[in-house]
Amino acid sequence: MKAYLSRRYRLSAAHRLHSPAYSDAKNREVYGKCNNPHGHGHNYIVEVTFSGPVDAATGMVVNLADVDGFMRREIVDRFDHQNLNQQAIFEHLVPTTENLCREIHRIISAGFKHAKLERVRIEETSNNFFEISE
């Protein structure tokens, strides 16, 4: 039997959607107001879902303290109140929320070994959210 644990984290970050492969006119056409040269910000909600068997001794899928510590160190501290365009992982990627979601999934998958990562979901606005899953 498999159980799931989902947890939400909040972070605020700025970004400018701009591709060096496009002209300024094409960037404005593709990204609209999100191509503002000064950038813009979001209050993101990052939701992660882990799965696994319920441990007989602890009664848990994964220790929430382990999840919280990892997410704080590796995700929240890294991205909160930052300009995503200045992050090394976005040196060759447009910092769309799709790419942020993909990179957060990659970071967690590579570094958190206590349970299986099923999904990363990022809410960018009340109308937009993005998901990456296995």
The domain tally of the chain equals 1
Coarse DSSP helix, strand, coil percentages of the chain, rounded to the nearest 5 percent: 35, 30, 35
Residue pair 90/99 in contact (Cβ under 8 Å)? The answer is yes
Alpha-carbon span 16 to 39, nearest angstrom = 4
pLDDT at 1 over 90: no
pLDDT at 134 over 90: no
Whether the predicted model's global pTM rises above the 0.75 cut:
yes
Categorise residue 51: left if φ over 0, alpha if ψ from -120 to 50, beta otherwise: beta
Q: What is the CATH number of the domain that holds 7?
A: 3.30.479.10
Q: List active site positions.
A: 34, 81, 124
Mean pLDDT in residue range 123-134: 95
Pairing relation of β-strands 3-15 and 40-52? Answer: antiparallel
Query: Which pLDDT tens digit goes with each residue over 40-87?
Result: 999 999 999 999 999 999 999 999 999 999 999 999 999 999 999 999
Range of the domain at 119: 3-133
Q: Which helix (H) or strand (E) holds 105?
A: helix 97-111
